[in-house]
């Protein structure tokens, strides 16, 4: 599924391994939309169907389970795993780096269905076989112990301080709703990128209708202590990331700033 920057990369590298068929292509829509399950052709004959559940750069989220029964589903959940409750059962393989919601960079979480561990992969060196890592309890090579330790602390915080994934999901939903509301209420100033049905709770991407104002707005935000709102270098514009560690107070501070900026832009005409 080609839904944005990160799935494009996956497809590019998958082509080194074999033929790739694009089951859904979001390029013509400028990566504003996400596929619905009904939009996809049958993929049962494919080795697997791959998608990115949250396109971090475009701020587009796939909310439906893709692929009919019998499809092998492989999903990159790097930027939304553990941001809300979700069922892992329908997936064959889920992978996610840690550095968005789980912990520091250096750890990658892989959840694989047992049935795939016995598939023969004699052509691969042992370190590239998931079976090796399962058999050695993630200790086949020297693991990044400090990053794993911090990830454990984050998971404890999520369970004991936040109150679990349901509570985290509610907090994340409120944070995103607050920012999207500012964009929708000030649509004469801001242009939200994602189609409302595909809006990510993790990354809110948007532009100023008057693009010349982008750099000065980012500078004023920094002066107000709001850093890191520039869009990804490939897309430009603005991107607000609302990962688990971002508090509701921070989201509120940014929303108030964006409201004040919209009023000021209108006054300037
Ligand atoms: C959805 C997604 N997949 C993959 C990556 C690449 O991650 P890494 O830099 O840890 O390889 C990113 C990076 O932000 C991402 O957002």
Ligand 1 atom with the smallest distance to the CA of 99 is 10
From 78, 234, 239, the mutation candidate for ligand 1 (largest count of ligand atoms within 8 A of CB) is: 78
pLDDT single digits (tens) 1-46: 999 999 999 999 999 999 999 999 999 999 999 999 999 988 778 9
**190-192 sheet: strands from edge to edge:** 190-192, 203-208, 238-241
pLDDT single digits (tens) 194-223: 999 999 999 999 999 998 999 999 999 999
76 within ligand 1 shell (Cβ under 6 A): yes
Say whether pLDDT at 269 is over 90. no
In this prediction, residue 41 carries a pLDDT of 85
Average pLDDT, the chain: 96
pLDDT single digits (tens) 55-97: 999 999 999 999 998 899 999 999 999 999 999 999 999 999 9
Give the pTM.
0.96
Q: Are 108 and 97 in contact (CB under 8 A)?
A: yes
Tokens of 109: 């979480």
Ligand 1 centroid to residue 7 C-alpha, Å = 10
Q: Are 116 and 131 in contact (CB under 8 A)?
A: no
In this prediction, residue 159 carries a pLDDT of 98
95 within ligand 1 shell (Cβ under 6 A): no
Determine the Cα–Cα distance for residues 244 and 84; give it in Å rounded to an integer: 9
Query: Minimal CA–CA distance to 162: which of 252, 244, 103, 99?
Result: 244
């Amino acid at each position: 599924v080609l839904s944005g920057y990160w799935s494009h990369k996956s497809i590019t590298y998958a082509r080194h391994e074999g033929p790739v068929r694009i089951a859904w292509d979001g390029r013509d829509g400028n990566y504003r939309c996400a596929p619905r399950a009904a939009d996809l052709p049958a993929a049962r004959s494919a080795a697997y169907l791959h998608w990115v559940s949250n396109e971090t750069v475009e701020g587009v989220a796939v909310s439906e389970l893709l692929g009919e029964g019998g499809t092998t589903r492989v999903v990159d959940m790097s930027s939304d795993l553990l941001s809300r409750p979700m069922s892992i059962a329908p997936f064959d393989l889920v992978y996610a780096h840690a550095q968005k919601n789980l912990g520091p960079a250096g750890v990658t979480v892989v959840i694989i269905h047992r049935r795939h561990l016995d598939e023969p992969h004699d052509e691969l060196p042992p370190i590239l076989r998931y079976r090796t890592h399962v058999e050695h309890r993630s200790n086949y090579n020297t693991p990044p112990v400090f990053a794993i330790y911090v990830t454990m602390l984050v998971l404890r915080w999520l369970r004991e301080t936040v109150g679990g994934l349901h509570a985290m999901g509610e907090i994340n939903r409120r944070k995103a709703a607050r920012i999207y509301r500012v964009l929708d209420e000030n649509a004469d100033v801001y242009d939200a990128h994602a189609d409302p049905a595909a809006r990510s709770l993790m990354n809110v991407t948007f532009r100023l209708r008057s693009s010349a104002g982008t750099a000065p707005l980012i500078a004023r935000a920094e002066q107000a202590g709001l850093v890191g709102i520039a869009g990804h270098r490939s897309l430009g514009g603005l991107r607000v990331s609302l990962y688990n560690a971002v508090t509701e107070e921070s989201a509120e501070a940014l929303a108030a700033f964006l409201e004040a900026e919209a009023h000021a832009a209108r006054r300037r005409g």
